[in-house]
Amino acid sequence: MKLTRRRFLQNAGITAAALATWKIPKGVLASPVPAATMASGLPGSLGAQEVTSVCEMCFWRCLLTGKIKNGRLVKLEGNPKSPANGTKLCARGNAGIKLLYDPDRLKYPMKRVGTRGEGKWQRITWDEALDTTAENLNRIKKEHGMESLALFYHGASAKFIEPFWHHIGNPNRTEPAFFQCRGSRDIGYLLTFGDSPGSPERMDMEKTRLMVFLGTHLGENIHVSHVMHYIEGLCNGAKLVVVDPRFSASAAKADKWLAIRPGTDTALLLAWINYIIQHGLYDKEFVAKYTTGFKKLKDSVKDCTLDWAAGLTDIPAGQIKETAELMGKLAPHVVIHCGRFVAWYGNDTQRSRALAILAAILGTYGVEGGMYLKSKPPRPKASLFQSDEEESDLEPISDKWPFPPPGTPSEGLIEATLTGKPYPIKSWVIWGTNTIQTIPASHRTIEALKKLDFVLAVDQIPNDQTLFADIILPQCTYLERYDTVYVWKDVKVPYLSVRQPMVKPLYESRDPYWITKQLAERLGYSDCFPYKDAKEYAEKKLESVDLSLEKLNKEGGVVTFQGRPYFTRENPPEFDTSDGKVQLYSEEMEDEDLDPIPRFEPTPAPPKGYVRLLSGRTPVHTFTRTRNNVWLNAEQSENDLWLNDKVAKKLGIKNGEEVCMENQRGVKTRPIKVKVTPGIRWDCVYIVHGYGQLSRHLTQAYHKGVSDGLTFAKNTLDPVTGANAMRVNFVRLIKDGKVLEMPELGPLPSGIPRFQM
């Protein structure tokens, strides 16, 4: 059976399939926990009412306990009953209060009164806003067809609009953050193991003997439970190898930091695979029983020698050999981390395939200290739609890529908006995502927004995309609403919880269920969203697994289930691939005229006088979502530019001085402070992603720092998935009005071409 697109969409590693109604069998729940929620006067609460919920300051969704006094939220803490984060929250989680009480919040519906991009609005009623939206969407649909409408979305706030868009037969929906983060990674692992590595990633770091990070920046992307497990693993004596052109927070804790030449990661992975095979360091029993294509893999990588990889990667052959032997010695208790925020060079699915193949031949799948298994807890079920899903004979834009993740690659919708091909897109609904800052080459997104007939923005704060909206709808925060029932299955102890409000919605903000239901009815879909409100929907889902909000709250806001994280005789290996085995050689890729085994494809080096622009994360912020938060802004209000110390000396730049960047299109940035450091290679510079917002209505974030997206000159797409590449743009520096040509401190290998201007 071929791995078709439908099988991708059905795969639980990418989207949750609808499952039969469950009843919780006796003995499945963990030991009972004392009642701790919705009570006042609890010990230590100083008379505050306590309510449990689920955080949304990032997508990790830690469990929360909020303390409310006199109707006001005064403190957020981790839920002590959580099997993941426990009592711990990161800085962002604690600062959720300042999202709730942000004076810049969108407070009521508004319509545009200036030109698009000016950010001039007028307050209107909810009825006028919803009626105007429905009239425009229905008009555009009638004039140009269903395909002329597109949805850009992100996060829990889109849990209702996204399935509605799918239900009405419109394929033009995209989650930009997914395509810029882990879309290509998930497809790479799905093509290999028949499953994605999950979110949270199923990496058994606390039990491992060795962690290998390539595309992983733990300590900078603070996902609380993941970082806890990472630190626990280090405390338990695990070794750490970090591959990164920059001395990241993880590299600072590494036993081996491999400062790789950007764009050569696949060469390193293939050399590791070859050395491990040639020296018999692979797991022979696992490979023989559970994989296919080993002989073809061995033949394919035989020329990927240590010296070959050393010449490309700028990593000494001795270090490549030493780290390969360390993996072989400590396998199978090795975490080959799959990475996150790894859409880099436009060949990212194949690099992820190489990572997955390395993990497979070491036998790390389904074992303690490796990559553990997805759990199968009960899944609550309640239908949002009373009618059948509408069929469409429209050929989706995503069909131009062989294995796209669900939805449409963001750049595909932007291109269609700009060119009208393969058909014109006339309206965007932007729901909870900052399209301008999220999608690379922001100038193209802005150009597309100006071209549209109608733009609807649904958000909590006046982010950049609201500047271009015709109608703005104020959505309440995660602390003011019921949402849905969450089940965590990518954890060793699976658990269930529900988001519920801690305070009443402020101003005229409304919850996502109500907004979507109102829009659906005005668009002629009155048979959608049959529940009175989000609370009733949550109750219906809980009822399907023999729970209720009352029962859940008596359990402390969470129930846990038994997990089966490792292969055992009773839990044997199963792989959802065409032949039930790990695909070292992918016939599905071969059928699409793609390399069935990853090979090294050189990424063009910077033009003469330029360096590569890298971007990443910070533990204090979640992209642009938290930039206007007064607490977090006080901790890190701007980003800085990491510059190699030897390059800085040649250019006469001192630490803390300001420079501007100029990309290969000649576009200049605002000034940014320089961080001079030996902790980055000479051929690249680095900034944290998500700064430099354009909306002057964000009093904390407006023009603070520099945007990487606005600095990017071009887009490069992964040929397998259509995901954007985030590390294919180049800059030089401007100081005191003078353009500085970046020096080259090392030779360019003969196998790597130079980018042509």
Residue 735's DSSP bridge partners are 738
Residue 428's DSSP bridge partners are 150, 455
What pLDDT, on the 0 to 100 scale, is given for residue 22?
Answer: 31
What pLDDT, on the 0 to 100 scale, is given for residue 221?
Answer: 84
Dist CA 71 CA 379 (whole Å): 33
Sign of CA dihedral 666, 671, 677, 680: negative
Dist CA 567 CA 371 (whole Å): 11
Dist CA 534 CA 536 (whole Å): 5
Per the CB < 8 A criterion, the answer to whether 195 and 187 are in contact is no
Dist CA 427 CA 456 (whole Å): 8
What pLDDT, on the 0 to 100 scale, is given for residue 198?
Answer: 94
What pLDDT, on the 0 to 100 scale, is given for residue 21?
Answer: 28
Burial of 685 (0-12, 13-18, 19+ CB in 10 A): buried
∠ CA 319-321-322, rounded to 5°: 65
- Spell out the residues 6+ positions from residue 303 whose beta carbon is closer than 8 angstroms to its own: 274
Per the CB < 8 A criterion, the answer to whether 78 and 486 are in contact is no
- Spell out the residues 6+ positions from residue 558 whose beta carbon is closer than 8 angstroms to its own: 33, 52, 63, 79, 81, 82, 83, 495, 496, 497, 552
**Domains, the chain:** 32-101+479-509+531-560 (2.20.25.90), 105-175+407-475+510-530 (3.40.50.740), 182-375 (3.40.228.10), 611-740 (2.40.40.20)
Nearest alpha-carbon partner for 626 in 75, 218, 104: 104
Q: In what helix (H) or strand (E) does residue 686 lie, and over which residues does it extend?
A: strand 684-688
Per the CB < 8 A criterion, the answer to whether 276 and 286 are in contact is no
Amino acid at the residue 182: R
Amino acid at the residue 440: P
Per the CB < 8 A criterion, the answer to whether 52 and 43 are in contact is no
Q: What is the 3-state secondary structure (H, E, C) of 524-581?
A: CCCCECCCCCHHHHHHHHHHCCCCCHHHHHHCCCCEECCCCCCCCCCCCCCCCCCCCC
Nearest alpha-carbon partner for 44 in 72, 71, 80, 84: 80
What pLDDT, on the 0 to 100 scale, is given for residue 14?
Answer: 35
What are the CB-based long-range contacts (under 8 Å, 24+) for 127-133? 129/471, 129/472, 129/473, 130/473, 130/518, 130/519, 130/522, 131/522, 132/470, 132/471, 133/456, 133/471, 133/473, 133/519, 133/522
Per the CB < 8 A criterion, the answer to whether 323 and 156 are in contact is no
∠ CA 10-13-19, rounded to 5°: 50
Q: Per the confidence metrics, is the pTM higher than 0.85? A: yes
What pLDDT, on the 0 to 100 scale, is given for residue 45?
Answer: 54
The first and second tokens of residue 590, run together, are 């071969």
Give how far Cα 409 sits from Cα of 177, 186, 401, 436, Å. 10, 14, 9, 15
- Radius of gyration, CA atoms only, the chain: 25
The segments of the chain whose pLDDT lies below 50 read: 1-44
Torsion angle, alpha carbons of 327, 328, 333, 334, to 10? 20
> For the chain, how many residues are written?
757
Strand 110-112 and strand 658-663: pairing?
A: unpaired
The first and second tokens of residue 586, run together, are 């992918």
The first and second tokens of residue 363, run together, are 């036998």
Amino acid at the residue 441: A
DSSP 249: T
